Amino acid sequence: MRITSLQGPHGAYAAVVTPHGPIPIHRIADVSGDAWPATVQGLLQAEKLTALQAWLDANGSLLPSLVEDAAHPAAPLLHHPPKILGVGLNYAEHAGDLGETRPDEPATFMKPYTSIIAAGETIPIPRQSERTTGEAELGLVIGVHGKDVAEADAASLIAGVTTIIDMTAEDILQRNPRFLTRAKSFDGFLVLGPDLVTLDELPAGAVERLDLADVEVTTLHNGSPARRNVVANMLHSPAKLVAFFSAIMPLEPGDVISTGTPGAVPLAHGDTVGCVIPGVGEVTCPVVDRKVGA
C-alpha cells in the first residue's frame, strides 16, 4: 500500500495511491460509513493502516469510482512528526567524504518539524551558509508505540518507508561539530515523501525482519546520479537503528528515522537535488540560494 498527502483548500489530506489514481481517505469514509482519520499523521496515530489495507483488499471493485480526478499539489507527507531522528555517517564511504572516522555507534541528531517541506518545493540555501549539501536517504516511519525493542522485532514498529532529501549547512558543521543541530535545522532542510510505502511492497524479508539489504539509495544532482549505495553497506542497519533509538526513548506513531546517506552533493543556486529508491519512489526539488534570489 502507498499513501500520500495532498493539498486541498482547507489543508492537507491523506490519499491512497492506486493504479487508477489517488483515492482520498475522505472518499473511503463516505462509502464505508467509518470515521477514518483524514490525514496521514492521523492514520498513523490511530494505528489504522492495517484496517485500511483490509478495507482496500475487500473493496477493490469500488476503487476506480473513488479516484479524485482533480490534481492537487503535494503536501508534506507528515506536518508535525513527534520526532525526526537522523543518523550521520552511516555509510563508510560517506564518512570518508567528510574526513570523519567510522563511528562504532550511530551518530545521531534530531531535526525540527519546521524544517519539513513537500516534494517539489524549493530548498533554500540559508544566508548563513556558504556550503550547503543535499543527501538522499531512506526514511523509516514508525507505526506503533515501542520501547526497548529488539532488532529481531524492529519490523513490528514500522508503518512503512519513504524517500527523504536531507540538507546540511556543511560549513557551519565543520566549524564545530557541536553546531550539528544548527547545521541541520534551517527551514526547508528536510524533504519528506511524497509517499509512505508499506513494507509488504518491498523485497521478501522486509515485513518479518526489516531486511532491506538490497534496497538502493541514490542521490541525484541536476538529474544525474551522483552517489548511490545499498542498505547492506550501512554501518548500522535499519533494524539496529530502530532498536538503538527505542532503547533511548519511546518511539511513537509518526516518528521518522532518516537512516543516513550514501553521499552528499554541494548545492548551488539553480540546482536540483533528488532521491531515488527503487520500489519506494523518486523526489526532486529545485534549489535557491537566499543570498542570490528569493
Parts of the chain belonging to CATH 3.90.850.10: 84-289
Instruction: Say yes or no to pLDDT of 146 above 60.
Output: yes
Per-residue cell: 17: 495511491
43-58: b (≥16 Cβ within 10 Å) or e: bbeeebbeebeebbee
68 vs 21: CA distance, rounded Å: 7
DSSP codes, 82-94 = S-EEEEES-BHHH
Q: What is the average pLDDT value for the chain, to the nearest integer?
A: 95
Name the one residue in this structure whose C-alpha cell is 553546531: 179
**248 pLDDT more than 80:** yes
What are the pLDDT digits (tens) for 22-39? 999 999 999 999 899 999
Beta bridge partners of 7: 12
Of the chain, the percentage scoring pLDDT greater than 90 comes to 90
Report DSSP state, residue 155.
G
CB 6 within 8 Å of CB 193: no
Cβ neighbours for 115, distance < 8 A, ≥ 6 positions apart: 84, 184, 185, 186, 187, 188, 189, 190
* DSSP-assigned letter for residue 181: H
HEC per residue, 44-64: HHCCCHHHHHHHHHHCHHHHH
Q: Compute the average pLDDT of residues 10-20.
A: 94
Task: Output DSSP code: residue 127.
Answer: T
Tell me the pLDDT band of 288, cut-offs 50, 70 and 90: very high
Q: Which residue in this structure is represented by grid cell 485500511?
A: 52
Q: Out of 3.90.850.10, 2.60.40.1930, 3.40.710.10, 1.10.10.10, which CATH number does the structure's domain 84-289 have?
A: 3.90.850.10
Question: Partners of 18 in the beta sheet?
Answer: 21
Task: Read off the pLDDT of each residue in 280-292 and give the average, rounded to a whole number.
Answer: 96
- Give residue 278's identity as a one-letter amino acid code: P
Q: Burial letters for 68-91: b for 16+ Cβ neighbours within 10 Å, e otherwise?
A: beeebebbbbbbebbbbbbbbbbb
Q: What is the pLDDT of residues 72-102, one digit of tens each?
A: 888 999 999 999 999 999 997 755 555 666 7
Whether the pLDDT of residue 294 is over 70: the answer is no
pLDDT of residue 204: 87
Distances (CA, A) of 214 to 149, 211, 217, 263: 23, 8, 10, 17
CA distances from 267 to 1, 12, 45, 231, 258 (A): 33, 29, 35, 24, 20
User: 144 pLDDT band (50/70/90 cuts)?
Assistant: very high
DSSP alpha helix (H) spans, 67-159: 92-97
Q: What is the pLDDT averaged over residues 175-194?
A: 97
CA distances for 124 relative to 48, 93, 102, 178, 274, angstroms: 35, 27, 30, 23, 14
